[in-house]
């Protein structure tokens, strides 16, 4: 009887009830993916929306045929992440129903213990084929599973291969990968040898390829040329039998790029950009295995603002004044509800945002200036040149110790630790937290002039090349020039940590330190001692590879958290009003360069081209 019923069902399907030979959407698999969200959960797109999109897509593709994946850097970035070190972000991802994730370098920013605790708290697996335990320089077992396979409701088996950037050592904090004696107890292949990374990825692919239908790399690698031989495209070119690569790390927008692998086969590479500006959508054809990708973005829905007479108001340029009243999704692949929201996720998100906004919403001061790190074309400047926000942040460190009547000569602030876009108007603790998101703590050390020069050189090694470098140093109490045409030759180890002065001469020159007695900048004395202010990330923990401070004298350590250093400085301005030249340091030290009027800063750092090679 069962055979007869089965036969009748087959005949019925072929006669057209389902359409014999016609493929249902439920034969296909959808992967929604994110990368480099950095806890920007207050954007129009957020975890409640991606969960809502999944709910809608499951109506067409079937429950169990829509997966959620994240390619790293999701627990750090704003106060919404740092205030509980990612706990609520993991809760949001759990509630949204993420199926898989890999570690970005910023997952380590709260320390290794917390990074692994967040992994344990997740209801989804974290994977990485190249993150391992290490002892005495010898590789041990992987910390996480290298791969994870999901069998969808439609029977398609999808294997994910996790890949972690070896830049995690210097783009998080190297000390987190070491024991108390400074010995590395964790390793990430690719930091010493790109061939080792390729071997790890290929071995992971080989371990699953015979038992699955599709193999997808879920990597935090990026396509930035400054990452040398460890980009996602480098990985694809070195392996075979990979079908797609969902990427992160470089904050690039890659809708779907076909990259050729080791055997000449095409691999689909994709990345969503940053900060929940878009959600990735990948569709895998259940019959052919063909992969299609698109990004789900959004448009603002606006309406004209009218006055009491019903007339449309005009701005100073004569254009209509409008306000945002909603949003609509934009994508060639997603055609579901116009703005789906998962209410369970939204309730958690909204409650947490309200809590943090209440805690940090108190006003500190205000400014009519625009403190920024971007130019008019949207290029991030703070990692490659002086900016007014960089000046402001370095001055806040300088002021902290000076106001404590502790001698301070120079303050440095790595550009990668300054995260804001344009800031103007009311200044709150939340804004300070959005500028400094990491929770680093201010320190003061006594260093030599030579060590200071080496630090400036290390930070300037990419200046003038068009590449960003998070180690670029914004400064207070010092000025310097960079010869952009001089070849960079600073020595570093296999982990990307500084180990010695440049072999071909310094790009940085004409360094001058502000003398408080003469109120003038005077040439750096390489043998003299200077008190240097900074954060534990750079001065104590090898962050950014700044190893030239090893063994220096600590004057005062762990003084104040970074965002409170900013708040302390803002509150010192008369009436909390931050203007271009009214810094509390200005009256005390009239010769200091203290002008925040333009995004390009006050002239402390000059990048010049002399063609001196």
Distance of CA 357 to the CA centre of its chain: 22
Question: String of b and e for 182-206 (b: at least 16 CB within 10 Å)?
Answer: eebebbbbbbbebebbbbbbbebbe
- At a CB cut-off of 8 Å and minimum separation 6, what does 460 contact? 472, 473, 482, 507, 508
Which among 420, 416, 413 is positioned nearest to 371, based on CA atoms? 420
User: What is the rounded CA–CA span in Å between residue 417 and residue 77?
Assistant: 10
pLDDT of residue 169: 83
pLDDT of residue 379: 85
Contact 596, 392 (CB under 8 A): yes
Q: What is the architecture, at CATH level 2, of domain 363-608?
A: Alpha-Beta Complex (3.90)
Contact 509, 412 (CB under 8 A): no
Which among 136, 87, 82, 127 is positioned nearest to 106, based on CA atoms? 82
Domains 26-357 and 363-608 alike in fold:
no
128-137 confidence digits (pLDDT tens):
999 999 999 8
Listing DSSP states for 372-436 in one string gives: -SB-TT--B-TTTS--HHHHHHHHHHHHHHHHTT----EEEEEGGG-----EEEEEEHHHHHHHS
pLDDT of residue 417: 93
pLDDT of residue 18: 34
Contact 547, 512 (CB under 8 A): no
User: What is the rounded CA–CA span in Å between residue 66 and residue 30?
Assistant: 5
Residue 27 DSSP symbol = G
Distance of CA 5 to the CA centre of its chain: 57
CA-only gyration radius of the chain, Å: 26
User: What is the rounded CA–CA span in Å between residue 370 and residue 385?
Assistant: 17
pLDDT of residue 109: 87
pLDDT of residue 611: 55
What would you measure as the largest C-alpha separation in the chain, in angstroms? 103
User: What is the rounded CA–CA span in Å between residue 164 and residue 363?
Assistant: 39
Which among 104, 226, 225 is positioned nearest to 165, based on CA atoms? 104
Q: What is the architecture, at CATH level 2, of domain 26-357?
A: 4-Layer Sandwich (3.60)
pLDDT of residue 5: 30
Q: What are the residue ranges in the chain where pLDDT is below 70?
A: 1-26, 611-613
User: What is the rounded CA–CA span in Å between residue 9 and residue 366?
Assistant: 72
Q: Helix, strand, coil: what percent of the chain each, to 5?
A: 30, 30, 45
Listing DSSP states for 143-162 in one string gives: SSBSEEEEE-TTS-EEEEEE
Report pTM: 0.78
User: What is the rounded CA–CA span in Å between residue 356 and residue 349?
Assistant: 11
Which among 50, 66, 123, 33 is positioned nearest to 345, based on CA atoms? 50
**Torsion of the alpha carbons at 160, 161, 166 and 169, rounded to the nearest 10:** 60
Element (H, E) at 58: helix 47-61
pLDDT of residue 4: 31
User: What is the rounded CA–CA span in Å between residue 30 and residue 67?
Assistant: 6
User: What is the rounded CA–CA span in Å between residue 486 and residue 508?
Assistant: 9
Q: Which residues pair with 160 in a beta bridge?
A: 148, 216
User: What is the rounded CA–CA span in Å between residue 78 and residue 40?
Assistant: 7
pLDDT of residue 540: 86
Q: Where are the domains of the chain?
A: 26-357, 363-608
């Amino acid at each position: 009887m069962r055979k007869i019923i089965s036969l009748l069902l087959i005949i019925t399907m072929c006669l057209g009830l389902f359409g014999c030979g016609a493929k249902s959407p439920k034969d296909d698999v959808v992967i929604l993916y994110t990368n480099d969200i950095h806890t920007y959960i207050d954007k129009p797109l957020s975890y409640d929306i991606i969960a809502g999109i999944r709910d809608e897509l499951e109506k067409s593709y079937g429950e169990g045929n829509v997966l959620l994946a994240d390619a790293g850097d999701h627990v750090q970035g704003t106060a919404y992440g740092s205030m509980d070190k990612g706990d609520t972000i993991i809760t949001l991802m759990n509630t949204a129903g993420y199926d898989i994730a890999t570690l970005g370098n910023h997952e380590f920013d709260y320390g290794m213990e917390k990074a692994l605790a967040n992994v344990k708290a997740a209801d989804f697996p974290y994977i990485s084929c190249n993150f391992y335990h290490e002892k005495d320089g010898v590789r041990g077992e992987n910390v996480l599973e290298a791969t994870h396979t999901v069998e969808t409701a439609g029977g398609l088996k999808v294997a994910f291969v996790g890949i972690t950037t070896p830049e995690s050592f210097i783009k998080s904090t190297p000390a987190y990968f070491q024991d108390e004696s400074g010995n590395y107890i964790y390793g990430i292949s690719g930091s010493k040898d790109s061939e080792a990374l390729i071997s790890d990825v290929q071995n992971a692919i080989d371990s699953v390829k015979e038992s699955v239908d599709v193999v997808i790399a879920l990597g935090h690698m990026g396509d930035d040329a400054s990452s040398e031989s460890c980009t996602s495209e480098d990985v694809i070119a070195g392996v075979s039998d990979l079908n797609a690569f969902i990427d992160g790390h470089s904050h690039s927008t890659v809708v779907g790029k076909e990259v050729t692998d080791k055997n000449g086969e095409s691999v689909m590479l994709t990345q969503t950009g940053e900060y929940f500006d878009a959600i990735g959508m990948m569709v895998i054809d259940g019959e052919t295995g063909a992969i299609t990708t698109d990004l789900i973005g959004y448009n603002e829905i606006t309406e004209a603002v009218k006055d009491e007479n019903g007339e449309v108001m005009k701005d100073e340029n004569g254009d209509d004044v409008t306000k945002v009243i909603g949003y609509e999704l934009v994508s060639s692949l997603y055609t579901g509800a116009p703005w789906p929201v998962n209410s369970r996720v939204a309730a958690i998100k909204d409650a947490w945002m309200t809590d943090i906004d209440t805690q940090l919403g108190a006003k500190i001061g205000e400014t009519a200036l625009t403190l920024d790190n971007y130019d008019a074309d949207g290029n991030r400047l703070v990692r490659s040149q002086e900016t007014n926000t960089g000046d402001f942040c370095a001055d806040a460190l300088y002021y902290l110790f000076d106001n404590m009547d502790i001698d301070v000569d120079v303050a440095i602030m790595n550009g990668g630790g300054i995260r804001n876009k344009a800031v103007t108007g009311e200044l709150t603790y939340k804004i300070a937290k959005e500028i400094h998101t990491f929770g680093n703590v201010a320190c003061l050390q006594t260093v030599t002039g030579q060590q200071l020069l080496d630090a400036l050189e290390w930070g300037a090694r990419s200046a003038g090349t068009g590449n960003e470098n998070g180690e670029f140093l914004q400064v207070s109490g010092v000025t310097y020039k960079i010869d952009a045409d001089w070849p960079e030759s600073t020595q570093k180890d296999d982990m990307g940590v500084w180990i010695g002065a440049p072999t071909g001469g310094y790009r940085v020159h004409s360094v001058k330190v502000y003398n408080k007695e003469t109120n003038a900048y005077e040439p750096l004395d390489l043998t003299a001692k200077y008190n240097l202010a900074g954060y534990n990330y750079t001065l104590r923990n090898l962050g950014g590879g700044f190893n030239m401070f090893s063994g220096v004298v600590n004057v005062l350590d762990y003084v104040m958290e970074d965002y409170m250093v900013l708040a302390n400085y803002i509150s010192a301005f008369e009436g909390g009003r931050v203007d271009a030249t009214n810094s509390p340091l200005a009256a005390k030290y009239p010769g200091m360069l203290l002008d925040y009027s333009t995004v390009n800063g006050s002239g402390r750092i000059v990048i010049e081209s002399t063609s001196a090679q």
